[in-house]
């Protein structure tokens, strides 16, 4: 039986909904959380978009049937609808004489709860100064990991304290930032340090240095990003650099926490971590795969 065809108006509405940058990034984010979705507040925070602005964009995506919404308690959960774009692509490809299968969306599930049986993973985020990128990543992963991930951060040559612009940004987005501190990665090379499952470098300088022997023989990956602390200019320009770094790290972490880690063998997991590192904004060292693993 032939699938129902989308009208020209429906096709245009779909493309129009995705033509705006924030809506496009919202849909990409929700794809990483398929099928469970995210509360509207979490979407706004991860993309660093004001809540009222995000509400308008989510309504636009919902009208285009690209997202579905349901209420759970006091939260409204949004999930990506993969049927509409798959149906659209199938129709366009079909006009070239090629058949494509459209997979039906599952029923809208509840947000994935944290289970007492879930494996917990320790993750160390590393940059040279441990003042901006790794500190931001630590805060985001501890919240987005929903109990499955315990994040730490450290530096090969740490500064005295986290960068004030990193702290103020995190606090403005609702993260707990009061306990964040800059510290040496040597703290995590001691025998009594918590064993790490993953060590992820987020700056090229740290990736090129001789690191401690980590307890637990963790899997290592490199997600190099430019240092926002090196950006010069007005206060607004410097804050914009930190916001861009936050968004890039949040995108990587949202992909990371949704990996089916238990189902992947070591080689496949390494490949998936490397692919995450190559997301938008990656440094040349990351893209060329030259960082030590």
> Residue range 162-181: average pLDDT?
93
Q: What is the pLDDT, as a whole number, of residue 103?
A: 55
Residue 125: pLDDT band with limits 50, 70, 90: very high
Distance CA(87)–CA(101), nearest Å, equals 8
Residue 35: pLDDT band with limits 50, 70, 90: confident
Q: What is the pLDDT, as a whole number, of residue 188?
A: 92
Q: Which two tokens stand for residue 58?
A: 């989510």
Q: What is the pLDDT, as a whole number, of residue 170?
A: 95
With 0-12 / 13-18 / 19 or more C-beta atoms within 10 angstroms meaning exposed / middle / buried, residue 281 is: middle
Decide which of 118 and 251 is more confident.
251
**What homologous superfamily is domain 121-287 in, according to CATH?**
Response regulator (3.40.50.2300)
- Write the CATH number of the domain with boundaries 8-94: 1.10.10.10
Q: What is the pLDDT, as a whole number, of residue 98?
A: 52
Residue 135 pLDDT exceeds 70: yes
Q: Find out whether the peptide bond into 121 is cis, omega within 30 degrees of 0.
A: no
Q: What is the pLDDT, as a whole number, of residue 292?
A: 47
Residue 293 pLDDT exceeds 50: no
Distance CA(219)–CA(196), nearest Å, equals 8
Q: What is the pLDDT, as a whole number, of residue 176?
A: 84
- In 3D, which of 72, 66, 87, 88 has the Cα closest to residue 20? 66
Distance CA(101)–CA(99), nearest Å, equals 7
The residue ranges of every structural domain in the chain are: 8-94, 121-287
Q: Which two tokens stand for residue 95?
A: 């006009």
- Other Cβ atoms less than 10 A from the Cβ of 58: the count is 21
> What pTM value is reported for the model?
0.80
E strand or H helix at 33: none
Residue 1 pLDDT exceeds 50: no
Q: Which two tokens stand for residue 183?
A: 């510290």
The predicted-structure confidence for 7-28, as pLDDT tens digits, reads as follows 888 888 889 999 999 999 999 9
The predicted-structure confidence for 202-256, as pLDDT tens digits, reads as follows 999 888 787 888 888 899 999 999 999 999 999 999 999 999 999 999 999 999 9
């Amino acid at each position: 039986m032939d699938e129902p065809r989308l009208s020209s108006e429906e096709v245009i509405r779909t493309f129009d909904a995705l033509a705006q940058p924030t809506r496009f990034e919202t849909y990409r984010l929700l794809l990483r959380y398929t099928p469970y979705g995210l509360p509207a507040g979490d979407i706004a925070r991860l993309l660093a978009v004001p809540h009222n602005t995000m509400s308008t964009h989510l309504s636009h995506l919902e009208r285009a049937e690209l997202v579905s919404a349901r209420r759970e308690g006091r939260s409204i959960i949004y999930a990506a609808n993969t049927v509409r774009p798959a149906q659209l692509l199938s129709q366009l490809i079909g006009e070239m004489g090629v058949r494509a299968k459209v997979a039906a969306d599952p029923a809208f599930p509840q947000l994935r709860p944290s289970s007492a049986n879930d494996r917990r993973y320790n993750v160390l985020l590393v940059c040279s100064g441990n003042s901006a990128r790794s500190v931001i990543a630590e805060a985001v992963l501890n919240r987005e990991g929903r109990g499955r991930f315990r994040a730490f951060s450290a530096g090969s040559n740490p500064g005295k304290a986290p960068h004030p612009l990193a702290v103020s940004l995190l606090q403005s987005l609702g993260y707990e930032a009061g306990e964040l501190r800059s510290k040496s990665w040597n703290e995590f090379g001691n025998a009594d340090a918590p064993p790490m499952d993953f060590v992820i470098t987020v700056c090229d300088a740290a990736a090129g240095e001789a690191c401690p022997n980590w307890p637990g023989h963790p899997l290592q990956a490199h997600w190099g990003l430019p240092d926002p602390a090196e950006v010069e200019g007005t206060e607004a320009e410097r804050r914009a650099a930190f916001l861009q770094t936050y968004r890039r790290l949040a995108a990587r972490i949202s992909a990371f926490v949704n990996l089916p880690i238990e189902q992947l063998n070591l080689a496949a997991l390494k490949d998936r971590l490397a692919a995450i590192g190559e997301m938008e904004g990656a440094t040349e060292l990351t893209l060329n795969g030259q960082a030590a693993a």
